[in-house]
Amino acid sequence: MEQLLSYFVLLVVFVASLVNAEVHFHEFIQETPVKRLCRVHNSITVNGQFPGPTLEVRNGDSLVITAINKARYNISLHWHGIRQMRNPWADGPEYITQCPIQPGGSYTYRFTIEDQEGTLWWHAHSRWLRATVYGALIIRPPLSSPHYPFPVIPKREITLLLGEWWDRNPMDVLNLAQFTGAAPNISDAYTINGQPGDLYRCSSQETLRFLVGSGEIVLLRVINSALNQELFFGVANHKLTVVAADASYTKPFSTNVIMLGPGQTTDVLLTADQPPAHYYMAAHAYNSANAAFDNTTTTAILKYKDASCVTLQGKSLARAIPAQLPGFNDTATAAAFTAQMKSPSKVQVPLEIDENLFFTVGLGLFNCTTPNTQRCQGPNGTRFTASINNVSFVFPKQNSIMQAYYQGTPAGVFTTDFPPTPPVTFDYTGNVSRGLWQPTRGTKAYKLKFNSKVQIILQDTSIVTTENHPMHLHGYEFYVVGTGVGNFNPNTDTASFNLIDPPRRNTIGTPPGGWVAIRFVANNPGAWLMHCHIDSHIFWGLAMVFLVENGEGHLQSVQSPPLDLPQC
């Protein structure tokens, strides 16, 4: 296994909005032996921990995060869901807003939390390094108004990072898939806060246990930090009340199970109202595609303080009550859950649209001149690819898009001819002609005027397979105004749009074989990546970039780049 020799230093400073106090966090990311599933791997960890530590800040705080890269690989860090107003330089995706931090180099991320609170997270945004480089980012309300707008006040909080674990170096898994053109090997386990749980080999002793008292109300902050898999999550015999998603409050609703795509977060309230016992908290795959997937289940245990337990030879045996999760392909449950999401009250949704965009999103296949060779191990001797509007995105290498855009030197880095609609109209979710399965490659961006009102229809296709693609837009939050099954019909489907209280998200899934409509105001200038958060899809090309132009004056323009911005 190719070893990752790494040593990062993250220095986090935040300034409290009222007391102007400075708090310093010193964080070291280094190669550490991590034992999972009976085997030890040298993995990147933060302060020797996997996952990385939780960063807790308040709305209005300013952060300064210095990363020093002593790794073998280039790396960059992304603060998922942070809007980064006028400041794409701190966003982090490699070759989009910055060149990666090369081995031996360093970079300081500086940004302010502006009108955001809730559960977000941070992760590497370089190839598959985020398989182990990630952690929670909790934004609490400002000290001037420190309480949550929840129907009840939680007694305690528990943060749950749902992840994936490979019993090998994830970078080797990626490199093999890039070489062969086949789908990457599936993970060997799912994890909750880095631990697989009772149902995996060599894992029971480390299964996480969370202690609660009878009658207590607990806030669960659930984050899907898995690399490639949407997940169902539930707690045995307990109802969950959803109160927030992607760091935006929601109208509370009760559910037995939640579904999160990679990148999404959901805050739920749980009342410990069951007989004292041990209850499994569990997650397993929601698999919407006709593709191989990891069908295992990760668990942790919710343990009531006054629950009895059986002992054997002096060891505690907590016989946890199993959680009932939906079937792996239960799209009806996933769709019903998502459909309940609404903002707590009326919101300001853009009504008159300046940019009406229609994006087909899905997989594809590149034909090989010599099929069935070592380099063509995809279906029928092809190579897997993915695209938006038939353009398979190619990440530049000689400069980042934002740096080239700011310097006025786009030649050889990107073009601005990304199509607003697919080049060919077809039955997107029907039996698609094989002549439409092969996209073109390109590094294409789409320009938006400052303050333009944007609507995007994200239309899944049946090319290779229909699938729920969790689409993430950097630098923005958006309103999810509509969704449906089949091909979007502008003449009939717009009448069903929710323009009163739609949910605000930063990542939203395209229903398998369906569409989702989002709206936002382009009031944040810069280069902003939009991509599927299934990482095997982003390296296949399921991405594009918006270039939001400057408005008028300093406060509507991109900040000057920092002096230590990495060079390619």
Rounded CA-CA distance 29/12 in Å is 13
| Full 3-state SS string of 202-248 | CCHHHCCEEEECCCCEEEEEEEECCCCCCEEEEECCCCEEEEEECCE
Longest dimension (CA), the chain: 73
User: Looking at the DSSP assignment, which residues form a beta bridge with residue 268?
Assistant: 220, 242
State the DSSP H helix or E strand holding residue 65, giving kind and residue range, or none if neither.
strand 62-68
Rounded CA-CA distance 484/512 in Å is 10
Rounded CA-CA distance 107/56 in Å is 21
Pick from 447, 459, 451, 453: nearest CA to 388: 459
Residues 444, 415: contact at Cβ < 8 Å?
Answer: yes
Strands 355-366 and 383-388: antiparallel
Residues 300, 209: contact at Cβ < 8 Å?
Answer: yes
pLDDT per residue as tens, the chain (568 positions):
333 333 344 544 333 334 433 445 545 667 788 999 999 999 877 777 899 989 999 999 999 998 888 788 899 999 999 999 999 999 999 999 999 998 888 999 999 999 999 999 999 999 999 999 999 999 999 988 888 999 899 999 999 999 999 999 999 999 999 999 999 999 999 999 999 999 999 999 999 999 999 999 999 999 999 999 999 999 999 999 999 999 999 999 999 999 999 999 999 999 999 999 999 999 999 999 999 999 999 999 999 998 876 444 445 555 799 999 999 999 999 999 999 999 999 999 999 999 999 999 999 999 999 988 999 999 999 999 999 999 999 999 999 999 999 999 999 999 999 999 999 999 999 999 999 999 999 999 999 999 999 999 999 999 999 999 999 999 999 999 999 999 999 999 999 999 999 999 999 999 999 999 999 999 999 999 999 999 999 999 999 999 999 999 999 999 999 999 999 9
User: Looking at the DSSP assignment, which residues form a beta bridge with residue 118?
Assistant: 139
State the DSSP H helix or E strand holding residue 129, giving kind and residue range, or none if neither.
none
Tokens of 124: 């590497």
